[in-house]
């Protein structure tokens, strides 16, 4: 079973949307606070993002605990990114990372610390865990040279690294070990 590439793309979309300024706050509307210095750093907390399909059905729901954006450097730091992808009103994939850093106006996004993607399957779920994952939202490429653990109802394996293009839905794993059929 190939990991559904949409899951990883969602993370890129969420980061682009959040650091691009589509904010949904819990509680009262707060504007981004600009720090007094001319550093042009903005921060926001408890961001809730909701995206629907054109027919109004839920597509993506995401939360971020804190976002800091540096307008001069075109970078953004997010903490505790959690996203859920919906199909016909039901969650079919989830995505989380403790830290996300975006560079060059979201051309490159690095997810780190407990990066986990889950795809809900008819017979269980498939989970991909790693410590760091780099996304290129424009080209929709993802890669890591860190250890990747993949678990599904069919098999479990550990790979040293991963490369994928989300347009093609092709995954490359390297130095796979411990593959076994259940």
Q: Which tens digits make up the pLDDT trace of 40-56?
A: 677 778 888 787 888 88
At residue 14, the 3 state secondary structure works out as helix
**DSSP E strand boundaries for the chain:** 33-34, 41-52, 58-70, 75-87, 90-103, 108-121, 124-136, 141-151, 155-165, 170-173, 177-181
Higher-confidence position of 22 and 92: 92
Residue 7 near residue 95, CB atoms below 8 Å: yes
Per residue in 96-133, pLDDT (tens digit) is 999 999 888 778 889 999 999 888 888 888 888 999 99
Between the alpha carbon of residue 29 and those of residues 38, 50, 62, 86, the distances in Å are 24, 16, 18, 26
pLDDT category of residue 23 using cuts at 50, 70 and 90: very low
Residue 11 near residue 102, CB atoms below 8 Å: no
8, two tokens: 């990883």
Per residue in 56-76, pLDDT (tens digit) is 888 888 888 988 888 778 888
CA distance 133 to 113: 9
Backbone angles phi, psi at 10, to 5 degrees: -55, -40
Q: Which 8-state DSSP code applies to residue 166?
A: T
In the chain, the percentage of residues whose pLDDT exceeds 90 is 17
User: What is the number of alpha carbons within 13 Å of residue 177 lying toward its C-beta?
Assistant: 3
Query: Which residues is 47 bridged to in the sheet?
Result: 25, 64
């Amino acid at each position: 079973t190939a990991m559904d590439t949409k899951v990883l793309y969602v993370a890129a979309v969420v980061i682009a949307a959040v650091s691009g300024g589509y904010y949904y706050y819990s509680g009262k509307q707060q504007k981004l606070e600009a720090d007094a210095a001319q550093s042009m750093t903005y921060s926001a907390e408890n961001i809730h993002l909701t995206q629907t399909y054109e027919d109004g059905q839920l597509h993506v729901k995401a939360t971020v605990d804190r976002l800091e954006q540096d307008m001069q450097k075109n970078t953004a730091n997010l903490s505790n990114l959690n996203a859920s992808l919906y199909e016909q009103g039901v969650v079919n994939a989830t995505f989380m990372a403790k830290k996300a850093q975006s560079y060059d106006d979201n051309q490159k996004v690095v997810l780190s610390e407990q990066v986990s993607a889950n795809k809900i399957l008819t017979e269980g779920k498939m989970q991909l865990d790693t410590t760091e994952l780099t996304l290129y939202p424009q080209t929709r490429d993802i890669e890591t040279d860190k250890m990747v653990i993949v678990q599904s109802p069919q098999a479990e394996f550990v790979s040293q690294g991963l490369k994928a293009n989300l347009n093609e839905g092709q995954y490359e794993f390297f130095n796979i070990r411990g593959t076994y059929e259940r």
